[in-house]
Every structure is written in C-alpha cells, then in structure tokens.
Chain A
Amino acid sequence: MGQATQAPGSRTDPGVAGPGPAAGPASRVTLALRWLRLVAGVVPFGIYVTLGLLLPMIAVAVGAFQNNDGGFTFSNVSAATHGIYLKGFWQSIILSLLTSVIPGILGLLIAYAIFTAKRGKVLRQVAITAAGVFANFGGVPLAFLFIATLGSSGLVSQWLTSLGFNPYDHGFTLYSLTGVVVVYLYFQIPLMVLVILPALEGLRPAWREAAENLGARTWEYWRYVGGPVLLPSFLGCVLLLFGSALSAYATTEALTNGTIPLTAIQIGSFLNGNVIAGQENIGKALGLGMVVIIAIAMIVYVVMQRRAARWLR
C-alpha cells in the first residue's frame, strides 16, 4: 500500500509533480500532455470567445482612441460622451432598466403561476414552448406586428378608438421610447419566464412545508426563505434581460427608423456609413461605452449576488 500503489498524478507522485531529480524531461512531456488533454475540451470555446469577443473588444477599445491617421486622440470619446450620443446612452440605459426590471418581475410572477398551477405538467410544457417562440420573435417581423396592431392605424388602436379611447390622443405613440418599451416587453417577459423557471423548480416543497409547520405565513416564507433563495438567480436573469435590451437593434430601428437616440442604433448608423468625414471612430467610442455600461452592470450584479448568495459559499 502507500507509495507503491499510489495513483499517478497524486500530489506526492514524484514522477509527475515533484521538483526532485525524478522530474526529468520525459515526465515534463507527460505533464504537458496531461494538461493539454485537460484543456482540450475548452479550446473551441476559447477560440470562439477570443475571435468573437476579446479581439473585437480590443479593436473597438483601440479604435476609440485613434484618429483617422491612426494617431492617439480623446476626441472620439469626448464626442461620444456629449450631445446626442450622451442622450443615446441615457435613453439606452433607461430603456434597458425598464425592460429588464419590469419583465423581470412580471416574468417571475408568470413563472410562479405556471410552477404552482395544478395539472402543471401540460401547462408548463405549453408555456415553455410558447415562451420560447415569443422570446425569439424579434426584429422587423415584431416591429411590423406592433405597427399592424398598435400603430396609429393598427387594429387594436382602431378598435380602442371605436370604443372611445384613442391611445394616440392620450400621449401614447408606438414610435416613442414608451412604445419601444411596450414592444420590448413582448419578448423580454417570455425570456424571463424561460430563464427563471428552473430556479423556481429548485425551491423544494419541504422548505415551504417546514416554514409553514414552524408558523410562517405565505408572505413570511417568501420573505425569509423563498425570496432569499431565489434572489441570486433573479439578479442573474435581470442582468441577462438588461444586456439583451441594451444590445437590441433591429426591432427599434425598424419601428422608429432611428428617430429615437439609442446607442445601438447610433452605432448602426456608423456601420451603415452615415458618418461625417473624420468621425468614423466615434462609433467605436460608442461601442466602448456599451462595454463599460455592461461592465458596470456586471460589477453591480456581482456585488449584489455575493451579498445575496453568501450562504452558498
């Protein structure tokens, strides 16, 4: 027993990890091969992240500080943080906050209703399928759907008008920030339902019964047990919705034709070549701004998540 039967690779295996004389070139090769075998599985994902996220991000960050001649400049960042572009950032943040927090709460309530419904299996399957369809229905078709229903001449608007309530006479317009929020709710709520349902299913019925047995009413269970247990997952889901709303482009572009200053649309116009000579790199500065916004959101999330889930550590 002991050394004679020790598994290779264990901490005291001198042929593998030890720094002593046994650690010759052959064992180093073995070690390297073993390490390669371990990381081989994540290499495709690493390549994907590098090509699809890291390199573009670096290119955007570098480009944001370059003038047309390749020289260093702050002018792009300065332009991106003033005037219409600054307003774009604020509008994007407000839109993303509204369309992550509101669907976050509504989606949680809907998911809870599905979760607790009697005959839940069939309902759950139908709801998940429907949510999957709605959550992925976006872009120009979604914009058209809303124009045809809630546009100034849309079916629903006309029907409401025939009932004596024309929403357009009461300050509503589909082609405003409020309208965009309504459209975003269409896919953000189902998305929330999809991502929060597994977390709800993680709540064990025994916790509920134990709390009840100890004298807790429903709201006390949610305040002291269900809510805190669910909070880390809820925060993660809301962050996902925030990112989704911040980067959404096609629906708003199709709906408003760029009349609402949103950063994603402004970047789109740069990509389309609608730029003033000499300001090509402002688009990259706007992209950098979005990276910063997401980074801040993630930092806020991490701080809140660490506090909410300290019992998991």
Chain B
Amino acid sequence: MTTNTTRDAATTAAGTGPVRAGGGTSVLLRDLTRAFGVTRALDGLSIEMAPGELVALLGPSGCGKTTALRIVAGFEIADTGSVLVDGKDISSVPAARRDMGMVFQSYSLFPNMSAQDNVAFGLRMRKIGTGGRRKRAGDLLDMVGLGPQAGQYPHQLSGGQQQRVALARALAIEPRVLLLDEPLSALDAKVRLQLREQIRTLQQRLGTTTLFVTHDQEEALSIADRVGVMSNGKLEQLAAPDELYTSPASAFVAEFVGVMNRVPGELRGGGMVTALGSTMPVRGHIPDETPVDVLVRPEDLTMQVVEHGNGIVTTRTFLGSVTRVGVQLDGDVAVQVDRPSAESAALAPGASVSVSLPGQPVLVATRRVS
C-alpha cells in the first residue's frame, strides 16, 4: 500500500458516500486442509468470495471456521490448498504483508496506546507521517462514533468501545480483506446488536470484502450476503441466508440454522416418505438406513384444534407476531408449531389438536437413537 492510496482513503473515509466505487477484492479459498495431530480442523474447504461481499462462516465450536480465517490472515499455514486474493496465490506471503485488517474475538487493543494511537498503528508501520496518521485515525474514530475518546487508553473504554476502536484500527490500513473473528461474542446483547449493524453499514459503505466468523446463527444470517455453514472441517452449504433457511442442503444445516422439528417417518419407494399420515417426496439426500425422521420447521406444520386429535398442547410462548406452541404428539414425539398470535387464543395447554405435514418435499435424516 502506498502513502497516496492511504491518503486518498483518509479523505473519503469520513464522508458519507461509498469509499471505493466498485472496489473490493475477490478471495478464493481453494481446497484447504489443516490437521492438528489427529484432528482434521479443515477438510477440503473451498469458498469463493466476490469483491465487496460479506461471507459469514457459521458453525459449532471446533468446526474449523476460525482455522480457515487464520489461514487467510496468515497466522496458520494450510497443509494443502491455497488462498488466492485477486487471483494471486498469497499462501507464502507473511501475515504482515497481506494487507488484511483483522478484528479479534478477545479485545486486542495495545494497552500502552491511546485509542488514536491504536488506530494509527498500522499507518505508522506503513511510514505515514504523523499528521496524516493523526487525521486518518481521527476520521476513523469519528466514523465509529468514538472521536471524543481518541485520547483514552483501552482500559478506560468499555468492551463495545474497544471493539469499535479495533474495527477502526483494522480499517485504517484500507485492507484488501477484512477478517472478523467472532468480534461480538464478548459483548452484551444490546451492544452486540448496535455494533453488528455498524459493521455491516461500514462494510457496505467501504465495499471491503469481509470474512466474518461466528457461532451465532442470528448474527450470521442478519449480517452476511452469504453464510457458509461448517461442520467437522467441511463446508456443508454456502448460500444466502434466506436460501439457507428455506432450502438447507443437509440435515446438519437444517438443524443448525433455525428451529427444526423431527417427526418419525417411513421411507416408501420412489423417493417418498410418510409421516403424520401424509406422504410426500423426499428432497435431497435419502438415507440408506431406516428408520428416518422428517425435518420440518415450526412454521411449516399445520395445526387445528379438534377433539381427539393426534396431539396435546403443552406450552405456548408468545414471540410477537407469532406464538410458538409446544405439542406432544402420539408416540411421545414433541414438536413446536408457529401460529399467528392473533389465531392462538384457543391453543391453551391441554387443548387437543391435529398436527399435519404439508405435501411439499421435505428433508429426511436417519433417526437418532436416544
């Protein structure tokens, strides 16, 4: 990065318009594998990110998402595979020369520097003059709403403020790629929501290609252009949030994202399955083993109050526009059904109901042994 490009960015960062018209960098993670002893943290991970795109990697602890991020940052070396930025393989480029801004999960501000000096650190490493550094850092702190706190040290800032300074610090070097390693997980719910929105706004305004790692599905679904769900070092599915929710590619994704019911079913020939008295086509992978469960979301189940139905209402939780109703079905199967709150008055605990499946294609999974 040259002094000029940074200076140019400095003049635009504080503005309201997009900083990089049509900017952004493409990133390609190609068949990455990484093992720690006998544990395969990454197992052939491939992801292509378009310029300016925000991709979230979502998955349970130990699924390999942070390892992937650290390989992109240059803090880990992949056993096989490569990372391409704008078509160039950067696998052998040291972390300090990758021009990637990173925000860490733990507060990683340098404790001996004020907020302003923290933000200016990357510029100092790039030999930007004191005046330029100060102006750029000031602009970025204003941008994250911390201009008045410029002279304060990290221990004088709250957790949310520290992460905002860390974000400004990562953006100060005008990174080609922004890497966010669970930056919100240590914050309380309210601050997390505010900062999440702020990150998304800034990312869209600056057009910086961003890889965001989180285990919080709500965070991933609300912030990302596309979400990659990972399990055991593999990418289960990479799709837009709505597609991920409505058309999960696997049982793992279906159950990891959102709430999913399991209803006992029986496979028929010709890719059909029967459950709750309905027969419908199976979507996606059909397990070899039986018995199976049909996976269905609470809002996809239909329910009517009837005498001598196939279930009894056990709980009722008001969630705003919808009410989530817990139903105990015959055969000791518990499901959750979402109903519009306006139509839920009669669904008191103890009420007899009839729950049925829609006729549309459904996902099935091998039944769990409890």
Tell me the A residues contacting B by CB distance below 8 Å: 204, 206-207, 209-217, 220, 224-225, 228-229, 311-312
Contact = CB atoms under 8 A, between A and B. Distances in A.
Nearest to A232: B112
Contacts of B169: 210, 214
6 contacts: A204-B108, A209-B95, A213-B102, A216-B125, A217-B96, A312-B111
Contacts of A206: 104, 106-108
B126 to A, nearest CB: 6
B213 to A, nearest CB: 14
Most-contacted residue by chain B among A206, A211, A213 (CB, 10 A): A213
A229 B111 CA distance: 7
B100 interface: yes
B310 to A, nearest CB: 51
Nearest to B114: A311
Given A207-B110, A311-B112, A215 B104 contact: no
Most-contacted residue by chain B among A206, A209, A212, A214 (CB, 10 A): A214
A206 B181 CA distance: 11
A209 B75 contact: yes
Contacts of A209: 73, 75, 95, 102, 104, 108
Nearest to B125: A215
A213 B94 CA distance: 9
Given A211-B110, A213-B95, A225-B113, 5 more contacts: A206-B108, A209-B108, A213-B100, A216-B125, A229-B112
A216 B111 CA distance: 16
Most-contacted residue by chain B among A210, A212, A228 (CB, 10 A): A210
- What are the 5 tightest A-B residue pairs by CB atom distance, in nearest-first order? A214-B122, A215-B125, A206-B108, A228-B112, A210-B108
B108 A214 contact: no
Contacts of B126: 215
A311 B96 contact: no
Contacts of B113: 224-225, 311
B65 to A, nearest CB: 17
B173 interface: yes
Most-contacted residue by chain A among B95, B106, B107, B173 (CB, 10 A): B95
Interface of B: 73-75, 94-102, 104, 106-114, 121-122, 124-126, 153, 155, 166, 169-170, 173
A224 B73 contact: no
Contacts of B98: 213
A201 to B, nearest CB: 15
Contact of A214 (B74, B153, B173): B173
Contacts of B107: 206
Contact of A215 (B96, B109, B111, B112): B96
Contact of B101 (A213, A216, A220, A228): A213
A224 B121 contact: yes
Given A209-B95, A311-B153, A214 B112 contact: no
Contacts of A228: 112
Contacts of A210: 102, 104, 108-110, 166, 169
A206 B109 CA distance: 9
A212 to B, nearest CB: 5
Contacts of B153: 311
Contacts of A225: 110, 112-113
Contact of A311 (B97, B100, B108, B111): B111
Given A224-B121, A311-B153, A204 B95 contact: no
Contacts of A312: 111, 155
A228 to B, nearest CB: 4
A215 to B, nearest CB: 4
Nearest to B101: A213
A292 B97 CA distance: 52
A214 B174 CA distance: 10
Contacts of A224: 110, 113, 121, 124
A212 B95 contact: yes
B99 to A, nearest CB: 8
A20 B121 CA distance: 56
Contacts of A216: 96, 121, 125
A294 B300 CA distance: 79
B75 A211 contact: no
Nearest to B109: A210
A229 B97 CA distance: 24
Contact of B121 (A204, A211, A217, A311): A211
Contacts of A311: 111-114, 153, 155
A214 B173 CA distance: 7
A22 B305 CA distance: 68
